Amino acid sequence: MATADYIISNQSGASFRTDLNSTLAAIVSNNSNSTEPATKYAYQWWADTNASIFKIRNSSNDGWINLFTLAGGIDVDAASNFNEDVTFTGASANIVFDKSDSQLEFADNAKAAFGNGADLQIYHSGADSFIDDNGSGDLKIRTVNGNGIQLLSGSSEEMITCSKDGAVKLYHDGNLAVQTISGGLNWQDSKNAEFGNSGDLKIFHDGNSKIQNTNNSCDFRLIGNSIELLSNSATESYIKCTVDAAVQVFHDNSRKFVTTARGIEIGDDSHHTLAYMASCLDVSRNNSRLVQFRAGDASASESGGIFRFGFTFVRGTSEVTQTLLTANSPSGNSNVAFFITMYVCSATTNQVAQIELFASAQGTHSYSNFNAATPTLTSKVGSSIAAGSLAWSGSDLQYTTDSNENYTKYMTEIRMVAHDRANITFA
């Protein structure tokens, strides 16, 4: 290993030969030494044994440029040009830059690894393609200046589309199924939100909004201490259920039906004690049995219950007899009393009359055991109204309109006090 100044002086033969040999030794060894040559020239070579790098002097003769390692590796300090294929040979898989394809090709299981600990790896196993995040942080896919991110099948079929400052859209077979909106999630028409291994519960819109239980072997349950069905504006109640309390049913946001500890009450929310009903039963059903009420079991503390109801009918000026209720009781000892209050309204005079009736039965009885007090009439508005008549006919309580009045409504409140069991079937 030698360096030289590459200057051969005019001297005697032996000294000339020594100087020439030193210069030739430096040339053939590429100035191989641990220190740089003392005399330097542009484009001079130096085999730096200290750094194990083969270097060339730059054109300005003021620095060295690394070319490759003395072991044969490449170590360059400037742009390089490889004009043919370049192969990077690995222990089990190679990477090739293929000039003809203009692409860097990773063989199966050859990985592109990123991070000091190869935290992010991209590779193909021969069967599947992988993006492995082995680091402790998140795997983030970001769009900075673009419009969004798309996951496609083939060249154009959308699978997932994420729009910058907009929706995330999920597709099925190229058709939009679900997308995010500012208020949550939006399912497209006829696309289901399904729950259960077999999609037993479905929520969807197909022109109508639907919640469907498709499993006939299980119940459909709404669970909560308070459950309420409301109008679209959430200003009107349809049904309201409260734990340890009443179930209420509304019409036009006015309560018409409510359960109580002893049974039920039917009537207007503000007038149910008078048995008002704003939506009443059609008179065409006056010959059918509409409701049946049963009192509680016989016991020292049981005193029966209260049932309040009402319905509307329109009559002409001819007399019509209407059966209000049929009272039945099974055989056996029973004490039963009915307190009946009836309200009628005249379309002719727009006056309201109140009619009161008391009926009772004691001991072993049949229909004929009921004793009816004479109905009493109390005019509530004005003084002239023909109230018609109220009377028992066997087991039936009947009301007959007056031929001089055009009744538009009547409403009835019936309160029953009973021991044992007694059935009342309302006509």
Contact 242, 276 (CB under 8 A): no
Does residue 8 have a pLDDT over 70? yes
Q: Give the residue among 293, 262, 328, 297 at the shortest CA–CA distance from 420.
A: 297
Is 236 a domain residue?
no
Q: Are residues 18 and 119 in the same domain?
A: no
pLDDT for 181 equals: 94
pLDDT at 383: 47
Judge whether 423 and 405 are in contact, CB under 8 Å: no
**Percent of the chain with pLDDT strictly greater than 70:** 63
The model's confidence at residue 350, banded by pLDDT at 50, 70 and 90, is low
Which residue type sits at 340? I
**Has residue 7 been placed in a domain?**
no
Same-domain status, 274 and 420: yes
Higher pLDDT pick, 296 / 325: 325
Domain identity same for 407 and 355:
yes
Take residue 226 and report the two structure tokens written for it: 């308070």
Averaged pLDDT, 220-229: 93
Q: Are residues 124 and 265 in the same domain?
A: no
Residues 60 and 90 reside in one and the same domain: no
Q: Is the pLDDT of residue 211 over 80?
A: yes
Which residues constitute the domain of residue 49? 13-69
Predicted confidence band at 148 (pLDDT cuts at 50, 70, 90)?
very high
Domain count for the chain: 3
For residues 375 and 291, membership in a common domain is answered with: yes
What was the pLDDT predicted at 292? 34
Strands of the 157-163 sheet, one edge to the other:
148-153, 157-163, 168-172, 175-181, 184-187
Separation of alpha carbons 348 and 362, rounded Å = 41
Mean pLDDT of the chain: 75
155 vs 311 pLDDT, higher one:
155
276: pLDDT strictly greater than 60: no
Assess whether 305 and 389 both reside in one domain.
Answer: yes
Based on the fold, state whether residues 98 and 55 are members of the same structural domain.
no
pLDDT at 288: 31
pLDDT category at 328 given cuts 50, 70, 90 is low
Tell me, rounded to whole angstroms, the distance of Cα 216 from its chain centroid: 23
For residues 59 and 76, the model is more confident at 59
Lowest mean pLDDT of 69-83, 227-241, 270-284, name the range.
270-284
Domain presence at residue 251 = no
411 and 308, same domain (yes or no)? yes
Candidates 404, 332, 324; CA nearest to 359 is 324
Residue 270 has pLDDT above 60, yes or no: no
The answer on pLDDT for 368 being more than 50 is no
Whether residues 321 and 362 fall in one domain? yes
Predicted TM-score (pTM) of the model is 0.49
| Judgement on whether residues 125 and 270 belong to the same structural domain of the protein | no
Higher-pLDDT residue of 411 and 70 is 70
Q: Are residues 273 and 351 in the same domain?
A: yes
Contact 336, 360 (CB under 8 A): yes
**401, part of any domain:** yes
pLDDT in tens, 283-309: 233 333 333 333 333 222 233 344 444
Q: Residue 356: its pLDDT value, please? A: 61
Tokens of 143: 């769009």
In terms of phi and psi (left: phi > 0; alpha: psi -120 to 50; beta: otherwise), the region of 190 is left
pLDDT band at 345 (very low <50, low <70, confident <90, very high): low
Flag whether 319 is in a domain.
yes
- Least confident piece of the model among 235-249, 325-339, 367-381, 404-418: 367-381
Q: How far apart are CA 91 and CA 275, in angstroms?
A: 93
pLDDT band at 144 (very low <50, low <70, confident <90, very high): confident
- 38: pLDDT strictly greater than 80: yes
Residue with the larger pLDDT of the pair 114 and 257: 114
Q: Among the listed ranges 45-49, 198-202, 291-295, which one has the minimum average pLDDT value?
A: 291-295
Which of 91, 139, 142 has its CA nearest to residue 115?
139
Tokens 């009559």 locate to: 315
Report if residue 162 sits inside a domain.
Answer: no
Determine the pLDDT at residue 19. 83
Establish if 29 belongs to a structural domain.
Answer: yes
pLDDT score of 326 = 62
Q: What is the mean pLDDT of residues 263-290?
A: 39
Q: Considering only 159-163, 197-201, 328-332, 339-343, which range has the smallest mean pLDDT?
A: 328-332
Q: Check pLDDT > 80 for residue 95.
A: yes
CA distances from 33 to 1, 6, 48, 56, 64 (A): 6, 15, 6, 14, 14
Structure-model confidence comparison of residues 41 and 381, the more confident one:
41
Kindly provide the b/e burial profile for residues 14-41, where b requires at least 16 CB atoms within 10 angstroms of the residue's own CB: eeeeebeebbeebeebbbbbeebbeebe
Residue 125 lies in a domain: yes
